[in-house]
Chains A and B, each alone.
Chain A
Amino acid sequence: MNIRASALQLISRPEGMVLILLLLVTLPHFEYIPLWSSISILALSFWRVIIIFTNNKYNPSKTISVLLTILAVIIIYRYSQGFSGITAGSHLLVVMSFFKLLESKSNRDYMLLVILSFFIITTNFLFSQTLTVALYMFFCIFITLITLISINQHSSVISLTDKSSISLRLIGYSLPLMLVLFLFFPRITGPLWSTKNDPTQARSGLSDSMQPGQISQLVYSNDLVFRASFKITTPPQQQLYWRALTLWNFNGFKWTINSNNEETTTLQINSAGYEYSITLEPNNKKWLFLLDLPYLLSNDFKLNSDFTAQSPQPVSSLLQYTVNSSQDYRISSQLDNFSEHTALSIPGLNKRSIELALSWKKQAQTPEDIINSALNYFSKQGFYYTLSPARLSRTDAVDQFLFETREGFCEHYASAFAVLMRAAGIPSRIVLGYLGGNLNPINNVISVDQSMAHAWNEVWIDGKGWRRIDPTAAISPERVNSGIASALQNQKDLPLHFQLDFAALEKLRQLFDAIDNKWNQWVLSYDKNRQRNLLRWLTGKNFSLQDISSLFINLILGMLVLTSLFYLLNNKNRKVDPVSDTYRLFLKKMSKAGFAKAISEGPRDYKDRLISCLPDQQQEISFIIENYVNLKFRKDVNSKMASHFIRAVRQFNVKKPYKPSS
C-alpha cells in the first residue's frame, strides 16, 4: 500500500479525521507541556493509526487502558503539584483527550472528541493571544466544523467543497455573536483567574535587583517588552533611555531597590518634550517603562520621586498608557538626608577602588571633574565591552573588575561607576531599563525587546539634581548610538537573532510587526476603560459595571430571541423525515445522470419513465421506488422497509447505458 493511499484511507474514516483534528488543535500546547507528554501524545496517536490499519487488531485491553490512564494522571499530578491552575488543567485535558481517542469506537465518542477539540482551542488562548495564534485557531475551528459535518453525514453524500462552505457559513453566522461578546462582555480589572505560582507564567525580563551577568543573559532573548508610538517627533536612538526602576542599596555584589523612597522632588520642565503611548506586553511585573525624563502619566498612574512608576496590579494583560517626557529639565529641590545617606553608602569592601576614587577627588575642582576622571579611566585603561566576561568573586567584585579582568557588560560598568562615585562623595544610583528600540518604518512604532536591557547611572549634582551618566557609552559608544547588535558585532557567540540580515526578511518582519501592533491596539488592549469609552461614544451616557452587565445580558437575550424566532419561522414545516431525504438523494443521483424528475411527476409515473430509459437497472429502480411508495403512501409500514430503502438508495449508482461511439 503506498503512502498516498494510506493517507486517503486515514482521512476518509472518522477516527482518522478526529485524530488529525486533535493533533492540530493540540499543536500549540506542545510549547507548554513537558517533552515526555508530547512524546506520549504522539505515541498514542501512532498506536491509534496502527489500530486503524490493522483493523482493530492491537486494541488496548480494558485493563491496560485503565492502568495507562491512571499512570498518566498520577504523573501529571506529580509534575504540576496538583490539578489547579491553567497549565495543569489544560495539560490533563490534552493528554486525556488522546487516551479517549485510543478507545473511541462509536460516533458518540467522536462527537465527544470534536466537542473537546472546541474546548482545547479555547484553552490555547490562556497561554498566548497573539495574532498568529488567533489566525491558527480560526483555522482549527474551520477544520473542527468540517470534522463535525463529516461525522454526522456519510462522506459520500457531501463533498469537501460543500463541507467547507457550510463551515465557513457557520463561522460567518457566529461572527455577530463574537462581536457582541467581545465588545460588551463586562470587563473587569485584572485577569479572570489567578495565575499565581504558575511556572509557565514566569517570563524573562528585568528583576528588581542587579548582579553581574544578569542583564547579559537577557541579550539572548528577543521577546517583545513593549511598543512605543510617538505623537509628533520620534527621539533619536541615543536618547531612548527607558527607565523602569532605580537601585540604591549595594552589598558589594548585588544592587537592590530602596524600599522607603521618601525623597520629594520638584521638577521644572523647560521645554515640552515628547508625547507617546506605550503598549506594554504582559510580564507579571508592576513597573512601567518611561522615557527619560517623564513628567505626565495617563491612567491615574502615580509618578514616584525617582521618576519611575508602578501599576497597582502586576501587568497580566496588554496595558496601554501615555506619557509625556522631556530631556530639558531641572530638579530644584534638595536631596533629603536619608536619601543622601543611602546614595553615598558603600560596604567596606573594594578597598582599591575607594582609594582610586579618593585620589581623583583630591585633584578635582568640581564633581564633574571626578565624573570625567572615571569615564576617562574606563575608556583609556583598556576596558572591554563583552557579553561573556570573566566571572567575578562575591567579595571584591568591583576591585576585581576595575584592576584585573577589565571586561564586562553594562551592569559591570554601572556598578563600578556607582561605587567610585559614592567613594568620591557624589550621591549616585543605578537605573535599570532598556536602551534603544527598533523603529518600524511602516507605522513609525518603536519596539523594544529583552536584548535591549540596560543599566546606567544617575548622580546628584547640587543645583542641577539627578543627572544621567552612562559609563557604557565611554567604552562602547556604538551601544548607545546604534544599538546592541552593532555594539556586539565582533563577538564570537553572538545571539542568532543579531546575525540574520536579509533585507527582504527584514521587510516582512516589519510588516508583521506593524500588523501585530494593530492587533494589540484594537483587540488585546480593549479593556474596561476603552469599553466605557465606546459605550459613551455610542450612547452619550456613562456606564457603570452594573449597567454594562445588564446591557450585555439584554443583548445576548435579544440575540437568542431573534435567532430562535428566525429559526421557528423558517423551519415551521420542516420535520425530520429520513425517507423523504433519501428519496431526494435518489432524485439527485438521477438528475446528475440526466434523468431529472419533473416537479409534478408522481413516483409511479417516474418509475415507468426511468425503466424505459434504464432497462438494465429495472430491478433496482423498481425496488427503490416501490419501497418509497409503500413507505410514503401505504397504511401499514414495516419498520425494516425504511432501512432497506435507505441502504438501496445509498448503494445505488446510475450505470449509463452503453452508447456506441460514432
Chain B
Amino acid sequence: MPVSDCISEIKKIILGKDAEIKQAICCLLSQGHLLIEDLPGVGKTTMALTLSKVFGLEFIRLQFTSDLLPADITGISIFDSKKQQFEFHHGPVFTQVLLADEINRATPKTQSALLEAMEEHKVSVDGKSFALPEPFFVIGTQNPSYQLGTYSLPESQLDRFLMRIEMGYPDNSAERKLLSGQDPRQLIQQLETIITASSLLEMQKAITHIHTSDEIINYLLKIIHNTRNDNRFVHGLSPRAGMGLKKAAQSWAFIHNRDYVLPEDVQAVFSAVCNHRLQCNEQTEKTVMQLTNEIIQSIEV
C-alpha cells in the first residue's frame, strides 16, 4: 500500500510525530491546504520538504516578510521590447507544493493574494488567468500570533485551510534520536519517492468515492448543529467546514485501507479540521480544544 509506505518513509525523518504525519497526508489526499502552527524550529519546514519529496512533488519555499508584495507570489507581466508585448513571468506560486513560511508576517494584502490562489487553483493577472499545476498543495506555517510583527490571519481566511496542526516538541526518546543522528535536511536528500504526482491525483479522485453512510451523514450533521447551537462559540462551523470534515474523514478511512467511513474517522480528524475555525466567546473560560472535545464526547455514536 503506497500510502502506508509513505508514512513509514516520512517517519524516518520526522521522529515521534506519527499522528501529525498522518493528518498532513490526510490533508494532502483531501486536496486541502495545511496550516502548521507552532514555534520556529520544531520541524514545520522539514515536514513540508519531506512530504513533497516522498510524493514526488515539485517544491518551492517562500519566506513571507512584511515587505512581500502580491506580485512576489503570483508573478508579474513585464513588457518584452523584442516581441513588443507583455509577457507574464510566473511567480513562485506556480508549483505543486508551496511552503508559505511564516504566513502571518506578510501584510493582509499579500496574504489574500495567496489565499485566492489556494481557493481558485489559478492566478489572475491583468485580466488573464493562469491555471496552477495539479496537484496544488499549500503548507502555510504560522508563528503563534502573540509574537511581534505579525498579522494574524482573519477567521475568513483561516477557513481556507482544511487543517491546522501543531507540531509540538518531540518527546524524550525522539529528541535523543534526533540529536544523536544525522542532520534531517541531509537525510531528506536520500529519501525515495514513493508516489508520483499522477497517482496522487488518482488517489484524490478515489477518495471522493469512499462510502459515507446515512449514519455518518447524521453524525456530521449533529456535530455541525451542536457547534452552531452552542453559545460559547462566536460562530458555528460553516458549510465549507462540514464538507471539509467529511472529505478529511474519507481520506482518513482511505489511509486505513477502508472504502467506508467510520465514526472514528470523523473523530480522528475533527480537531485538526475544526479547531482553527471556531472561536470562543470572551466569557468562556475553556479553550476551543476543550469545548470541541466536550461536543464530540456528548454525541452518541
A603 surroundings in chain B (CB, below 8 A): 262-264, 301
A598 surroundings in chain B (CB, below 8 A): 297
A599 surroundings in chain B (CB, below 8 A): 297-301
User: CA A94 – CA B40 in complex, angstroms?
Assistant: 90
CB distance from B87 to the nearest CB of A (A): 51
Q: Which B residues, 261 to 285, have Cβ-Cβ distances below 8 Å to chain A?
A: 261-264, 267
B216 surroundings in chain A (CB, below 8 A): 633
Does B213 belong to the interface (CB within 8 Å)?
Answer: yes
How many pairs of A and B residues are in contact by the CB < 8 Å rule? 45
* Chain B residue, CB-CB nearest to A605: B264
Q: Are B297 and A632 in contact (CB under 8 A)?
A: no
Q: Which A residues, 577 to 616, have Cβ-Cβ distances below 8 Å to chain B?
A: 598-605
Does A635 belong to the interface (CB within 8 Å)?
Answer: yes
A632 surroundings in chain B (CB, below 8 A): 213, 215
B264 surroundings in chain A (CB, below 8 A): 602-605
- B54-79 vs A, CB cutoff 8 Å, 1 = contact: the mask equals 00000000000000000000000000
B: residues with CB less than 8 A from A are 211, 213, 215-216, 259-264, 267, 296-301
Q: Are B213 and A633 in contact (CB under 8 A)?
A: yes
Kindly list the 8 A-B residue pairs having the minimum CB-CB distance in the complex, ordered from nearest. A602-B264, A602-B263, A635-B211, A600-B297, A633-B260, A633-B213, A634-B260, A599-B300
* Chain A residue, CB-CB nearest to B209: A635
* Chain A residue, CB-CB nearest to B297: A600
User: CA A382 – CA B299 in complex, angstroms?
Assistant: 99
* Chain A residue, CB-CB nearest to B212: A633
Does A629 belong to the interface (CB within 8 Å)?
Answer: yes
User: CA A602 – CA B219 in complex, angstroms?
Assistant: 11
Interface size class of A (residues with CB under 8 A): 10 to 19
Q: Are B260 and A602 in contact (CB under 8 A)?
A: no
- A213-225 vs B, CB cutoff 8 Å, 1 = contact: the mask equals 0000000000000
B299 interface neighbour in A600, A604, A635, Cβ under 8 Å:
A600
Interface-centre pick from B211, B213, B297 (highest chain A CB count, 10 A): B213
Q: Are B296 and A600 in contact (CB under 8 A)?
A: yes
* Chain B residue, CB-CB nearest to A599: B300
A: residues with CB less than 8 A from B are 598-605, 629, 632-635
CB distance from A233 to the nearest CB of B (A): 72
User: CA A603 – CA B297 in complex, angstroms?
Assistant: 14
User: CA A233 – CA B81 in complex, angstroms?
Assistant: 133
* Chain A residue, CB-CB nearest to B265: A602
A633 surroundings in chain B (CB, below 8 A): 211, 213, 215-216, 260-262
Q: Are A602 and B259 in contact (CB under 8 A)?
A: no
Task: With A632-B213, A633-B215 given, name 7 new contacts (CB 8 A).
Answer: A600-B297, A600-B301, A603-B264, A603-B301, A605-B264, A633-B262, A634-B259
A601 interface neighbour in B259, B298, B301, Cβ under 8 Å:
B301
Q: Are B299 and A602 in contact (CB under 8 A)?
A: no
Q: Are B267 and A602 in contact (CB under 8 A)?
A: yes
Q: Are B300 and A600 in contact (CB under 8 A)?
A: yes
A selection of 24 A-B contacts at a CB cut-off of 8 Å is A599-B297, A599-B298, A599-B300, A599-B301, A600-B267, A600-B296, A600-B301, A602-B263, A602-B301, A603-B262, A603-B301, A632-B213, A632-B215, A633-B211, A633-B213, A633-B215, A633-B216, A633-B260, A633-B261, A633-B262, A634-B213, A634-B259, A635-B259, A635-B260
Interface-centre pick from A600, A605, A632 (highest chain B CB count, 10 A): A600
User: CA A61 – CA B211 in complex, angstroms?
Assistant: 55
B298 surroundings in chain A (CB, below 8 A): 599-600
CB distance from B23 to the nearest CB of A (A): 18
User: CA A48 – CA B297 in complex, angstroms?
Assistant: 55
User: CA A508 – CA B300 in complex, angstroms?
Assistant: 58
CB distance from A641 to the nearest CB of B (A): 14
